[in-house]
Amino acid sequence: MTPTRRPYRSRKHVTVVSLLLFLLALVLGPTPSSAAGSDWWIPTSPPAPDAQIDVTGEPFTGTDSAGEVRGFVDAHNHLFSNEAFGGRLICGKVFSEAGVADALKDCPEHYPDGSLAIFDYITHGGDGRHDPVGWPTFKDWPAYNSMTHQANYYAWLERAWRGGQRVLVNDLVTNGMICSVYPFKDRSCDEMTSIRLQAKLTYQLQDYIDKMYGGPGKGWFRIVTDSAQAREVIKQGKLAVVLGVETSEPFGCKQVLDIPQCSKADIDKGLDELYALGVRSMFLCHKFDNALCGVRFDSGTLGTAIDVGQFLSTGTFWQTEKCTGPEHDNPIGTASSAAEKDLPAGVHLPSYDSDAQCNKRGLTDLGAYAVRGMMKRKMMLEIDHMGVKAVGQALDILESESYPGVISSHSWMDLNWTERVYSLGGFVAQYMHGSQGFVAEADRTKALRDKYHVGYGYGTDFNGIGDHPAPRGADAPNKVTYPFKSADGGSVIDRQTTGQRTFDFNTDGAAHVGMIPDWIEDIRLVGGQGVVNDLMRGAESYLHTWGATEQHQASVDLAKGATATASSSEWNPFTSYQPGRAVDGDDGTRWASNWSDDQWWQVDLGATHLVSRVTLNWERAYGKAYRIELSTDGSNWQTVWSTTSGDGGLDTARFTGTPARYVRIHGLGRGTDWGYSLYEVGVHSA
């Protein structure tokens, strides 16, 4: 939908009444500036001096004719990670009441030449040397390949919004172990303390911007806690900001020597606190294995450093095993890192079999409890950083409940999971790679987006531990030509200037978050308008996932407490394994058959229902080959679903709704030497 323009009105149509009203307004109130009137997007009292925006034109507002919002979504950013990791790992602030010179200055230990920028050379190699001076010269930072300098200054973020971004997920982030081993810090390393501070500062940033526009609620930066609020904010042309969490030990749920350091009560208390802070999406593990799940490994020098941190934090290094399917974690690699000197004397990094690329640790019982706790609170689960074993188990749980709240926000899941995410109603964003790589990956998954009618997102990970698009060069083909039009066509974007430095995407790359519009233009020039169109539908797809999550209702389990029978039941003098144990609502009890292949278990629902989904929670003795049969009379059976490749765990069988009173699980081939054993069977109409 094109921006609403004010029609031109001739002076001859101005009536005496309207003139009198205008004069009365002059007498009784302050004269509104053009910024406060027609140019609502320009602040009435901006700080000076400050970074320039270098975008002209009205930000697009409203929705299209189908009621859908437009705009880009940055599904993964870390506005306030300068407050994380002890407060001195990322240098510079998002905003400062004292002004830009105070906000955009380097860490004190980086003076005079960056020699003590330790984290830079631990993760990247080299010596870390750079000119530490920020405002106003910015000789060496911000830069596309710097991990230690502020890239999310609020005015740069304003430029991203003016260039078409309409949703921003601010992931509150930290890592207690990185904080503890990093020598420079000015605060506690407690992760939840840092998360609370970052949430508080996000609200303070909203207040800071509001003051420039005349008071509460008037600024363009709007924190939202539900999808309806987000849609209203975007309808006004503003930026909807969602709070997420990405931390290694949420709720204190670390593990030491494989012993969890938290309880179910800690998880419930922690989820309730985060929800009250406004958090609506989160990761359950990040970088280090914890009491909830095993992580997706980092590679290269960074992977070595993180594995060292894993040992220092948990007492165990990463442990690998052969993958059971096409999905696999990142290879750990054997690159040396300066972090190895932090290991105790006599302790060395293990070697890893190149044929074993999956994390042995999956989703723990506490992790499964946390997933269900998030579902109970209508929160969205971030699956990037989970190892493939953990992701598979988490998706099993979500699929068993048809729960759409699942997000891959920055390319850190195995791409083989993409369709499972889309089929649930989830959302996928790609890491902010260079335009050529981004376009190639977008093209690879284009057919899936078309199949599920979804848009696309990007996860910039600014202020995170990652590089950003490098410059393609002043002589590159199809380079960005300034000025250019925004993706919606309603604004004109020129080179961005901060202090004495002017940024050009062709020679500076994605040096800070304000270069997002330039990067989008580079994508258009490299990959064509189609990719940009998918990105412009990103905000709508993200909000669709969020809205469906909020509206999700758990379906009734038709089998719970119903009468069950079986071909056999294992006898045990101390424990009952009778058929009814699989429908008693207790995950700690189970039905178990005799130890032979051809066995069945069935339940009488008591009346005929339209059945379309059956969930099976297998014990270790699972069915590899089995089928699901339905009947209305208990005599004539219809097979509606079958498999010959069952792998245990939690299975969900979906099929066309079929009338049935009786549901039978018919085992044809065991996955172990034991019989068939089911903790719970659920039967659902939808």
- pLDDT tens-digit series, residues 25-81: 333 333 333 333 479 999 999 999 999 999 999 999 988 888 899 999 999 999 999
Q: List the structure tokens of 283.
A: 């990761």
What are residue 331's phi and psi, to 5 degrees? -65, 140
Residues 514/496, Cβ–Cβ less than 8 Å: yes
> Other C-beta atoms within 10 Å of 625: how many?
16
What's the N-to-C CA distance of the chain in angstroms? 36
Give CA separation, 577 vs 366, 566, 584, 680, in Å.
Answer: 25, 11, 12, 12
Rounded-to-integer distance, Cα 76 and Cα 413, Å: 14
The single-letter DSSP state of residue 34 is T
Per-residue model confidence as pLDDT tens digits over 362-414: 999 999 999 999 999 999 999 999 999 999 999 999 999 999 999 999 999 99
Residues 71/234, Cβ–Cβ less than 8 Å: yes
Q: Would you list the DSSP string of 320-355?
A: EE--SSS--PPP------GGGGGSPTT--PPP--TT
Identify which of 298, 338, 347, 346 has the alpha carbon closest to the alpha carbon of residue 318. Answer: 298
Rounded-to-integer distance, Cα 107 and Cα 129, Å: 13
Residues 358/416, Cβ–Cβ less than 8 Å: no
Cα 211–216–218 angle (5° rounding)?
A: 80
Rounded-to-integer distance, Cα 285 and Cα 293, Å: 6
The single-letter DSSP state of residue 415 is G
Q: List the structure tokens of 512.
A: 């800070």
Residues contacting residue 413 through CB under 8 Å, at least 6 positions apart:
296, 383, 384, 386, 388, 391, 421
For residue 192, what pLDDT is reported? 93
Cα 399–402–404 angle (5° rounding)?
A: 95
Residue 408's H or E segment, with its range, is strand 406-408
For residue 6, what pLDDT is reported? 33
Rounded-to-integer distance, Cα 115 and Cα 110, Å: 7
For residue 578, what pLDDT is reported? 98
C-alpha dihedral (410, 414, 419, 421), degrees to nearest 10: -60
Q: At what angle do helices 264-277 and 191-212 cross, to 10 degrees?
A: 10
**How remote is the C-alpha of 131 from its chain's centroid?**
34
Residues 388/294, Cβ–Cβ less than 8 Å: no
Question: Residue 195: is it exposed, middle or buried by C-beta count within 10 angstroms (0-12/13-18/19+)?
Answer: buried
Identify which of 236, 248, 238, 250 has the alpha carbon closest to the alpha carbon of residue 279. Answer: 250
Q: What pTM was estimated for this model as a whole?
A: 0.91
Question: Residue 436: is it exposed, middle or buried by C-beta count within 10 angstroms (0-12/13-18/19+)?
Answer: middle
For residue 123, what pLDDT is reported? 67
Residues contacting residue 446 through CB under 8 Å, at least 6 positions apart:
530, 534
Rounded-to-integer distance, Cα 178 and Cα 518, Å: 33
For residue 285, what pLDDT is reported? 96
Three-state SS string over 552-616 comes to CCCCCCCCCCCEEEECCCCCCCCCCCCHHHHHCCCCCCCEECCCCCCEEEEEEEEEEEEEEEEEE
Position 612: which residue type? Answer: S
Q: List the structure tokens of 82.
A: 């300068």
List the chain residues with pLDDT less than 70: 1-37, 123-125
Phi and psi based region of residue 15 (left: phi greater than 0; alpha: psi -120 to 50; beta: remaining):
beta
Q: List the structure tokens of 2.
A: 């094109």
For residue 249, what pLDDT is reported? 93
C-alpha dihedral (74, 80, 85, 91), degrees to nearest 10: 110
Identify which of 159, 78, 142, 54 has the alpha carbon closest to the alpha carbon of residue 105. Answer: 142
> Other C-beta atoms within 10 Å of 125: how many?
14
Rounded-to-integer distance, Cα 427 and Cα 483, Å: 33
Residues 268/373, Cβ–Cβ less than 8 Å: yes
